[in-house]
Amino acid sequence: MILTELISYETLRLIWWALLGVLLIGFALTDGFDLGAATLLPFAARSDIERRTVINAIGPVWEGNQVWLILGGGAIFAAWPQLYAVSFSGFYLAMFAILFALILRPVAFKFRSKREEASWRNRWDWALFIGGFAPSLIFGVAVGNVLQGVPFRIEEDMQIFYDGSFFGLLNPFALLCGLVSVAMLVMHGAAWLQVKTSGAVAERARRYGITAALTVPVLYLAAGAILAFFLPGYVITSEISTSGVSNPLLKHAVIQNGAWLANYAAHPALWLVPGLGLAGSVIAALCMAARRPLAALITGGAGIAGIITSVGVSMFPFILPSSANPSASLTVWDASSSHLTLFIMLISTLIFMPIILAYTSWVFSVLRGKVDAEAIENGKEHAY
């Protein structure tokens, strides 16, 4: 117990807020290019061998990349239990749709080449497209709804009730955020395909990637303008203890116009975060135009990190606002697990995160280089 006193409760909450962002960014940067490449599959690849080339560009790594999604869900469950309860129950149908789409991916990988018929393989190609496009869209839609506030309430006995519906999530602003997500992951997937393939596939991926990369800042700016001028944010109007007990009902919060820009007004240096999101995507487009795919992959990834981080920066200290009862909104300071739990989790993370990063780096190092279409066509045993 003495060890836990080395890091204050307030600091641990901040660390886990930041780590949650790191895990989300890690998922977007790794599994994101898998989703983007799968979305491009029916368009960037025309013939059977071209589509097998795209599949083999992501097939060996997608499963390891998806570890970041599992880590993110586990971190939410352990560090932010109330966030887990609201999001995984309120967004249940949306989560089910994501899981269904993600399940299509390994099934399609395994069954696509089991038969030679073009119609059979074409159906599985479109299943892979759904497995890439649907999660990309729904993740963005979820973020759009979080920014607007989620219709949940917490009773005095701490029971949580969600009053929304699945179709209520499909509102115009949330769909716009979904398109931002699709565009940035298609950009990322296109850059990956340029790194891993050559010839016609890489060239088509380059063209689609440039279009997606230039679409990202347009949609992102549109979403930002709507958020700044038309959609209200949330603000805490009472005192709140940063190291007190985790009870969201002990504060008072209200909905207020322009609240999501308050952190930027108080700390102008934070404008560098959305600036990174804009600059990264534009530079990625220029790198693709100059046929420098690795630079495009890196700069596009930086842009994705900036866009995701800008959401957290705008909302801080809110994690999940409540449109039904703003005072029940979940924040960094009142929705976390206990001091001891956060401390033990941090120690575990400091041990295992370097192992995960080292293993992931080793895998990508072993699998470096371009996918050989000729080897695939000649029937190499381990090709998809």
Q: For the residues of 116-177, what is the DSSP string, one character each?
A: --HHHHHHHHHHHHHHHHHHHHHHHHHHHHHHH-B-EEE-TT--EEE---TGGG--HHHHHH
The rounded distance, in Å, linking the Cα atoms of 296 and 285 is 7
The rounded distance, in Å, linking the Cα atoms of 311 and 206 is 28
The rounded distance, in Å, linking the Cα atoms of 164 and 175 is 16
The pLDDT tens digits for 199-210 are 899 999 999 999
Residues of the chain with pLDDT under 50: none
Query: Of 86, 25, 384, 140, nearest to 248 (Cα)?
Result: 86
The pLDDT tens digits for 254-313 are 999 989 999 999 999 999 999 999 999 999 999 999 999 999 999 999 999 999 999 999
pLDDT at 225: 95
Encoded amino acid at 357, one letter: L
pLDDT at 382: 59
Q: Which residues contact 63 (CB under 8 A, 6 or more apart)?
A: 106
Q: Where are the domains of the chain?
A: 7-232+336-371
318-320 and 330-331 strand pairing? antiparallel
Query: Of 87, 94, 73, nearest to 169 (Cα)?
Result: 94
pLDDT at 156: 86
- Which residue has 């409760």 as its token pair? 9
pLDDT at 142: 93
Residue 146 and residue 323 in contact, taking contact as beta carbons nearer than 8 Å: no
Query: Of 155, 188, 234, 212, nearest to 28 (Cα)?
Result: 188
DSSP state of 113: G
The token duo for 77 is 């469950």
Q: Kindly list the distances between the CA atom of residue 282 and the CA atoms of 72, 289, 304, 364, in Å, as whole numbers in the listed order.
A: 28, 11, 11, 26
Q: Which residues of 47-76 are buried (b: 16+ CB within 10 A; e: fewer)?
A: ebebbbbbbbbbbbbbeebbbbbebbbebb
pLDDT at 328: 94
pLDDT at 3: 61
Kindly report the CA angle at 367 between 366 and 373, in degrees rounded to 5?
145
